[in-house]
Amino acid sequence: MGSKGETLEDCGLTELEAAVRNCTDRVQYGDLTSLSGEDVVAVMQRVETCQRQLSALGSKLIIEATDRGLPETSGAGSPVAFLRHTLHLTRHDASTRIKIAAQVGEFHQADGQLAPPVLEVTAEAYEAGDISRDHVRNIVDVMNHLPADVPGETRAETEQILVNYCCEGWPDDLPRMGREILARLDPEGTVVSDADRHRRRGIKVGRPGIDGISWIEGWLTPQLRALLDAFLAKYARPGMCNGEDVDSPKVSDAVIDSTVLDAAARRDRRDAGQRVHDAFIALLQPGLDLRKLGSHRGMPVQVTLQMNLADLERGSGLATTASGVQMSINEALKMAGGTRPILIVNDEKGIPLYLAYGQRIASSGQRFGLLARDRGCTFPGCDAPADMCAAHHVTDWVKGGPTDLDNLALVCDHHHALVNDSVNGWKTVMLGKDSPHRGRVGWIAPKALDPTGTPQVNEKHHAGARVATAVEASRREWGQTAA
């Protein structure tokens, strides 16, 4: 590979393309069965790094084409149209690539000098292949939502925190981290206020089409989203409210037999959108008494709001529902007065309520404790919220494991099925005082995936704590640098 500043003639563009093609052909058409599982993973990771570096190169080429005026001289008229025509891209993909290039690229100024990228740290990581295009897209979105009057040091600190996370985390976690960062930079909600969200609210129901089907679209406030999540978690699950199944449990059923529901779920062939639709039909049936909705996974079918005592006393910050929806403290308190949700207030350490019962099914109080501690499925990388999870025994009940909070964990149905004693089964452990994640649940992968048996934790539901730790570490480093 050539060094920075060399021309394409120096690098040998033709030779480089031939080398890439040769390497691709060897991997694509070679005998991959001879590789071990670890080798397959290593090849996948190296290929992904190369693809990311090529994406970064694509951004440079977009800038070069723009500097030369190719979108205009080609007749396309705009950079988006130029990319769509030249590379056969969708409008969304072309627009995304141009937005990314504008933030991580070096453009020529009027004097001919190159201006550094707007997001220098992001650009460096992108060019090195450490982060993907989706990472960059989400970083750009977070940075664009920062208040205009944020000091340059804070903006640089925020970018560094996001890039550091991206080197080992997932792109779809960044909006959540962005909300956590924005809540700290703008605790009073002056950038995106409740009034802004209230003004944007609205649901549109279109006219029926030829087949009688109507489309629906709109924007939901956090309050309505929280109410819907609480209802749909139970009544839009597989097997529930299926109008095509006479034996499917209904909203009006006072008690739902789990065996009947499991049988109905096995017969259910609806997709998620169809189940949501049918749940709305059940919700709007005449004479339905919402007070008789019962419980779901050991918790009442109602909104659960969790907030910190310091935020409550200050009257700013965020409250979080069991499904991960966040709203301002003020809006949460208004909601508490009208819909009577369950409120959980944590201290500065986030210590939940501890309860122990001599029964297999976790109590409502223990579910609240698990919500406060785990917030969602504990399997590494899973983003299933708390209201889609069951209370799992870390040490199995049949092996003498108690139904105590320090032996329970939130786990979604999919990952619950992975826990078993077979050679391909996952194991769960409660991490002790020697672990940086003391008191949380660790997952041990099968030996084929991780021969070391190192317990892994899920950070997806703890973005706030991660951001707070990163901010504190970053500020210490900035302080030492300034000194």
Kindly give the interhelix angle for 152-166 and 463-482, rounded to the nearest 10 degrees. Answer: 130
State the pLDDT confidence band at 16, using cuts at 50, 70 and 90.
low
State the pLDDT confidence band at 388, using cuts at 50, 70 and 90.
confident
- 173-190 burial code (b ≥16 CB/10 A, e <16): bbebbbbbbbbbbbbebe
Centre a 10 Å sphere on the Cβ of residue 208 and count the other Cβ atoms it contains.
Answer: 10
What's residue 352's pLDDT? 45
What's residue 290's pLDDT? 47
Please tell me the distance from the alpha carbon of residue 464 to that of residue 408, in angstroms, as a whole number. 23
Q: Are strands 403-404 and 389-393 parallel, antiparallel or unpaired?
A: unpaired
What's residue 354's pLDDT? 30
State the pLDDT confidence band at 335, using cuts at 50, 70 and 90.
low
What's residue 56's pLDDT? 92
pLDDT > 70: percent of the chain: 81
Between 299 and 115, the more confident residue is 115
DSSP output for 347-390: -TT-PPP--EESSSSPPHHHHHHHHHHT-B--STT---BGGGEE
State the pLDDT confidence band at 172, using cuts at 50, 70 and 90.
confident
> Which residue's structure tokens are 């065996």?
259
- 156-165 burial code (b ≥16 CB/10 A, e <16): ebbbbbbbbb
What's residue 381's pLDDT? 85
Average pLDDT value for the chain: 80
Helix (H) or strand (E) holding 152: helix 152-166
What's residue 443's pLDDT? 94
What's residue 61's pLDDT? 92
For residues 317-343, give the mean pLDDT: 70
pLDDT at 69 over 80: yes
Helix (H) or strand (E) holding 228: helix 222-235
pLDDT at 192 over 90: no
Helix (H) or strand (E) holding 306: strand 304-308
At residue 343, the 3 state secondary structure works out as strand
For residues 287-302, give the mean pLDDT: 58
At residue 64, the 3 state secondary structure works out as helix
Within 8 A by CB and 6+ apart from 456, the residues are: 380, 442, 443, 444, 445
What's residue 4's pLDDT? 54
What's residue 341's pLDDT? 61
Helix (H) or strand (E) holding 307: strand 304-308
Q: 29-43, 331-345, 394-408: which has the minimum mean pLDDT? A: 331-345
Report pLDDT digits (tens) over 340-374. Answer: 566 777 766 655 433 333 445 566 667 778 888 88
At residue 202, the 3 state secondary structure works out as strand
CB 50 within 8 A of CB 63: no
Kindly give the interhelix angle for 120-128 and 37-67, rounded to the nearest 10 degrees. Answer: 130
What's residue 58's pLDDT? 92
What's residue 1's pLDDT? 44
pLDDT > 90: percent of the chain: 19
Q: How far is CA 272 from CA 44, 130, 253, 256, 423, in A?
A: 31, 34, 22, 21, 33
For residues 50-73, give the mean pLDDT: 90
What's residue 413's pLDDT? 86
Comparing CA positions, the residue from 453, 387, 390, 460 lying closest to residue 423 is: 453
DSSP output for 412-479: EHHHHTTBSSSTT-BEEEE--TTSTTTTSEEEE--TTT-TT---B---TT-HHHHHHHHHHHHHHHHH
Centre a 10 Å sphere on the Cβ of residue 288 and count the other Cβ atoms it contains.
Answer: 14
What's residue 159's pLDDT? 92
State the pLDDT confidence band at 383, using cuts at 50, 70 and 90.
confident
Comparing CA positions, the residue from 94, 327, 143, 313 lying closest to residue 227 is: 327
**According to the per-residue pLDDT averaged within each range, which of 8-12, 77-81, 471-475 is highest?**
77-81
Q: Residue 255: is it exposed, middle or buried by C-beta count within 10 angstroms (0-12/13-18/19+)?
A: exposed
Comparing CA positions, the residue from 250, 220, 239 lying closest to residue 331 is: 220
Walk me through the domains of the chain, giving residue ranges and CATH numbers. Answer: 8-185 (no CATH), 214-293 (no CATH), 304-346 (no CATH), 356-452 (1.10.30)
Please tell me the distance from the alpha carbon of residue 374 to that of residue 354, in angstroms, as a whole number. 14
Structure tokens at 313: 């006393």
Distance of CA 408 to the CA centre of its chain: 23
CB 448 within 8 A of CB 440: no
> Which residue's structure tokens are 């190369």?
50
Report pLDDT digits (tens) over 201-244. Answer: 898 887 767 766 788 888 888 888 888 888 888 889 999 999 88
Comparing CA positions, the residue from 89, 146, 155 lying closest to residue 122 is: 155
